[in-house]
Amino acid sequence: VLDHPVLDGKTLKRLLRFRSLDAPVVSLYVAVPVDPGEVRGAPAALHTLVKPLRELAESDELSHAARESLRADAAKILELVPRALQQQGKAMGVFACSRENFYEEVALPRQVRDRVVVDATPYVRPLLAVLDESHRYCVVVVDRERAWVHAFDGGQLEDVTKEAGRVLRKPDYGGWHGLDEYRVRNKAEEWARRHFRETAEAVERQVQRTGAEFLIVGGHEETIPNFLPFLPHDLQGRVAGTFVIDPHTLTPARVGEQAQRVVDEYERREEQELVARALERVAMGGLGAAGLEWCLAAADAKAIQLLLIHDEQEVPGRVCDNCGWLGLEGEDCPVCGAPTRKTPDVIDEMAAAVVDASGSVEHVYADTPLAQHVVAALLRFPVPPP
């Protein structure tokens, strides 16, 4: 499998800072299905996505240079097909501006909505949304005799460490004639404890090796609470959630599915907490901001530590390419007086500016009061509302 380099810091910076004034930048996101039957339809999907680009390249409203550049971008994007086909279950992001010799292609660890955006800057929100959700997890499935430890990264179950067999085998009760039932049960308890202890150690090793931030525990309903106390204290605090599964019917696909469900619930919970924290700070007059105008002012001041964005909502606005000012309205920049540029989504420009200024961005998909504000932020220093 041709492996695309994981999006590194340098590439991200290039994407955040690139702008082109002579010809537009094409940003394209395409998901590659998991199902081999559907994968065959992927080239056709890409052609459909590229079609509006070709139409735009015929438009009289654009300069000759811009039309040439778009035509070249469309052709280059279609060359993506063989590489995209190797990313089953993942997605590709492509950013192109042939006029400026700019082309970046990144494989994203999970699927995103297909889309094409044409603007003066790369459209980075879907990329940032994937990055802000890509925590590393360690998944352990445990029963009284066996355990399976996995790494779970970007929606993929990896690196299966089968711990079965390492631990003591199930005792052969048949050979225990003469022992009363009480002692057999006692012996079994002792074995289970030892197995749980060894499993907890295996989990700890895996967490250290992979740098997993969170832990997910699966197993029989009654096994999970018996196992959890064996985990070291700091790992107990990092359990993102648990799931019930019958280890006898275990498949990697099923474990992956259950782990993803726990991850989704955990992420939504985390989002709700962050929104509550930001709005609480706003209410208390602390280091918070809410609403587009206020957050844009905070972004202009480089005060945003964490920007929270409701779902995929987009809002048009204005950008000053001279000094970086972002706002909702104004043909002239209120800071430096230079003419501003229209942008179809000022939230995208704001997200790029925040990340470029060492802040972070979290897209909030959970149902929260952020829906009314569209954006809110945790600030590094106070910025008064405009």
- Helices in 57-177 by DSSP H: which ranges? 64-78, 81-84, 125-132
Least Cβ distance, residue 152 to Zn ion (angstroms): 45
Residue-wise DSSP of 150-175: EEEETTEEEEEEE-TTTSPPPP-GGG
Pull the structure tokens for residue 236.
């107990």
Q: How far is the CB of 297 from Zn ion (least distance, A)?
A: 14
Minimal distance in Å, beta carbon 30 to Zn ion? Answer: 35
Pick the closer one to Zn ion by CB: 179 or 336: 336
Using the minimum distance from each CB to Zn ion, give the nearer residue, 160 or 336. 336
Q: What is the DSSP letter of 300?
A: H
Residue closer to Zn ion, measured from CB, 131 or 357: 357
Strands 136-142 and 147-153: antiparallel
Convert 251-261 to b/e letters by CB count within 10 Å (16 or more is b): eeebbbebbbe
CB of 340: closest distance to Zn ion in angstroms? 7
- Structure letter (DSSP) for residue 122: -
Report the nearest approach of Zn ion to the CB of residue 95 (Å).
25
Q: What are the residues whose beta carbons fall under 8 Å from the beta carbon of 135, sequence distance 6 or more?
A: 213, 214, 263
Q: Which residues of the chain form contacts with Zn ion (CB under 5 A)?
A: 320, 322-323, 325, 333, 335-336, 338
Cβ-based nearer residue to Zn ion, 282 or 333: 333
At 277, give phi and psi (nearest 5°): -65, -45
The letter for the amino acid at 344 is P
Q: Which CB, 258 or 340, lies closer to Zn ion?
A: 340
For Zn ion, give the closer residue by CB, 324 or 369.
324
Nearer to Zn ion, 262 or 333 (CB): 333
Amino acid at 103: Y
In the structure encoding, which two tokens stand for residue 248, read together? 């006898």
Nearer to Zn ion, 6 or 336 (CB): 336
CB of 337 to Zn ion, least distance (A): 7
Sheet holding 25-31, edge to edge: 102-108, 91-97, 25-31, 115-119
Q: For residue 118, what is the enclosing H or E element?
A: strand 115-119
Rg (alpha carbons) of the chain, rounded to whole number? 26
Smallest separation (angstroms) from Zn ion to the CB of 318: 10
Least CB distance to Zn ion at residue 341 (A): 11
